[in-house]
Amino acid sequence: MKQRVWIILFVVLTSCNSKTETPVKAKKVYDMYVPSEMSKLMLDMYTHNLELKQQIINGQSPTQFPNHFLNIHSAQLSDFQIRDQQFKSFSNLFITAQKEIYNTTSTLNLKDRFNNTINTCIACHSKICTGPIPKIKKLLIK
């Protein structure tokens, strides 16, 4: 039981609190920490969008919507997270926005579509998991 509490505490400290640095106390349990499916998907979404940002800045057009992003609807969450109605709505908003980036018939420019997507990341995070927000905000194209 005690172990479980530590694991939960660590996850809270790493993914969902507002401090950017991991407190020394939590580092002790590092080797017990197993990232959730959702954590892994999120890191992948982050990396993908970081690459997209660079492509868009370089004037390239993104090619294909990464279908595995749809796993946001089913990926197993860390214990303390709940996939409630609000979460589902935010997931849908995000997927719709991300798909628009690849919509070649869109009338909105690519930069705006990209920033809209990042804003849906931030919208969900501001309700559910505030820790990564500063990192996510850096994705926005100025």
Q: How far is the CB of 126 from ligand HEC (least distance, A)?
A: 10
Helices of type H across 16-109 = 24-27, 37-57, 85-100
Which residues are near ligand HEC by CB under 6 A?
Answer: 11, 15-16, 35-36, 38-39, 42-43, 45-46, 49, 77-78, 81, 87, 90-91, 94, 120-121, 124-125, 128-129, 132, 135-136
3-class DSSP state for residue 11?
helix
Q: How far is the CB of 81 from ligand HEC (least distance, A)?
A: 5
- Greatest alpha-carbon pair distance for the chain in Å reads 55
Q: How far is the CB of 48 from ligand HEC (least distance, A)?
A: 8
| CB atoms near residue 125 (< 10 Å) | 19
Task: Give the tokens for residue 123.
Answer: 């919208």
122 residue type, one letter: I
Q: How far is the CB of 6 from ligand HEC (least distance, A)?
A: 15
Question: Cβ closer to ligand HEC: 42 or 110?
Answer: 42
